[in-house]
Chain A
């Protein structure tokens, strides 16, 4: 008995010239060229955050992409309860300021199995603009079979599934593209203030396409697109005075200009 016959063949996932795949151009020329036009609709895209402290950058990157791919339609953000505890509460005003997103729905599932089942159901609903699934840790239930099931459901309905994997190492899966996302220093605004969000991304794997490339991109909320940020324009040297602490460890006495460790 051939197990592969049990599931429909992967030809559904291949890009046939008769029905070209709809893609969303990210706005960064090098990125779009590598992706043959942009992020594909109806496919699974995986984003890995190397460390837990980079989780916000990965989530922001994915939120920006989702708002670009689904303007004006509902976006469903599914998390496990572990994600809600580790990363914090999603702020709608923060999401709104990052990327003027469409109607947002937040869903919380008790564990990873329920999260994947819910994701499979959500991806089948063609009324959604995009589905973001945020999972923490190495999700054992997301094996090759589960991944293929999600990919087929997405291909049938045309809804892109953006899979956020925090605190996990990349594993083989049926995703169209696999990325590693981290934060990058931003262009300072006048007054030495942090500027627009910048990300450092690496394309780890792409189905039938080039991979192994990296970019630094900046998100422009007003245009709704990314922009390539060359490292020359980003602040290389440290700005701001570095305060020196005496070798003995004791700090200077009280005074309005003295430094004090709090």
Chain B
């Protein structure tokens, strides 16, 4: 519920309306999660949505997104690594942290619990926290016990039998036998219990009471790719620094090769002995492990710095990190021609983007818009890989037709003075940049209306934006222009004409 609130901006609704999340279950839309307001008004999870709406007509409803919830939980669990390296997430809504040996860093267990509560409250999450000797016990206490827990053993004994997480039949059987809490079961002999409900139920019970300890499956934390060198004497000579770069890059290449990864971004941090820090960052289009390639890009980066790199009295430490990586298979010794060409082109794009900036070299991709100035988007070539088939990108023009879209487009369109028939006539003569052009051939009008669905009240006539009438004209000298009239005579008194683009 909190994830929904934090991540998805709610549509405008009455601020005091109760919010519920629904999911499809047993053939009907049922409430899967409800907020405090809905709870107070008497709803409960599992109620069909139709019933809930009948009770509270002003209910705000949204879909339950389980995948997003899992992702959010995994992110939270990774964030919990600041308290302990052994963290596991328990879907759908739990996190287990193994705090053996870390309590003293946060001022004892109580201090640690307080820190966690504060952090979670800061993120807007309501959490139930409990600590115990075994992971299963902690989980059960957090889910079922009344918090805060002062006496662990007593609290465990007071847990309801639902804490064992057996199936409904077993729960029913236990209730019929008159056993309501864990304490009741624990005081009975174990062997008949195991015979009736199975060995797994018995081990669940023993994990709760602390007789058995099961390790948690912690989230794997991949070791950061960080390679550093510290120098006893500060080094400032260019050759020494270059040699250090090369050494760090070879070490990084070996580690990346072990993991089967290639780096996309490389960051060098140089610490000067007087405390100043320099950072150099290079980015590549394709993942790479090649030290020579990264060194060449670093040379470009250093050459394009505004201030030259000044070692001062020398560098104390140089560190290389590889923040962004991608899987990279081992290079085949013989690349075929196509892959070699691709690699060379990628290297050229890397080099030029490092020198001129990533936005300097672009690929133009089509946008789904009929407005001419929004028909394409310029994406940096270093981030946007080459399309698989070029025919997918821009549609093939019909054969036999001259170009219907101009080669160059002015941004903004340039105003021109036009002589034309009212209301729909084509331009006969126009003046642009103080030169008069006589129109010999023309095609049009191509009517391009504004995007009325994007405007407030655009569906009403007259409020959808001005319509443009485009004409493809050629003058006596053979120059071809794309001219439009901004607005119809019915829409606007005295519409203006503009030159939008030039054809070949």
Contact = CB atoms under 8 A, between A and B. Distances in A.
A186 B348 contact: no
A222 B397 CA distance: 9
B478 A183 contact: yes
A12 interface: no
Contacts of A182: 478
B193 interface: no
A17 to B, nearest CB: 28
A186 B408 contact: no
Given A56-B408, A103-B390, A240-B440, A91 B472 contact: no
Contact of B418 (A59, A95, A221, A262): A262
Given A88-B502, A185-B474, A193-B441, A258 B348 contact: no
Q: SS class of chain B's interface: helix, strand, loop or mixed?
A: mixed
B378 interface: yes
A106 B441 CA distance: 32
B417 A262 contact: yes
Contacts of A57: 478-479, 504
A212 interface: no
A109 B356 contact: yes
Interface stretch (A21-29, A33-41, A125-133, A148-156): A125-133
Contacts of A199: 504
B352 A194 contact: no
Interface stretch (B132-140, B227-235, B361-369): B361-369
B352 A122 contact: yes
A160 to B, nearest CB: 16
Contacts of A256: 422-423
Interface residues of A, number: 79
A186 B403 contact: no
A197 B504 contact: yes
Given A56-B502, A107-B352, A256-B423, A89 B344 contact: no
A121 B480 contact: no
A96 B428 CA distance: 29
Interface stretch (B45-53, B77-85, B116-124, B492-500): B492-500
B345 A125 contact: yes
Contacts of A127: 340-342, 344-345, 348
Contacts, number: 239
Contact of B420 (A60, A87, A262): A262
B351 A94 contact: no
B344 A88 contact: no
Nearest to A106: B362
B478 A185 contact: yes
B477 interface: yes
Interface string A182-222: 11111011011111111110000000000000000001011
Nearest to A122: B348
B349 interface: yes
A237 to B, nearest CB: 9
Interface of A: 53-57, 59-61, 63-64, 72-74, 87-98, 100, 102-110, 114, 118, 121-122, 125-128, 182-186, 188-189, 191-200, 219, 221-222, 235, 238-243, 245, 254, 256-262
Given A63-B407, A95-B407, 4 more contacts: A57-B479, A92-B365, A197-B504, A241-B428
Interface of B: 340-342, 344-345, 347-349, 351-352, 355-356, 360-366, 372, 375-376, 378, 381, 386-387, 390, 394, 396-397, 399-411, 417-423, 425, 428-429, 433, 435, 438-443, 472-474, 476-480, 485, 494-497, 501-504
8 contacts: A88-B411, A88-B501, A118-B352, A186-B441, A192-B443, A256-B423, A261-B417, A261-B419
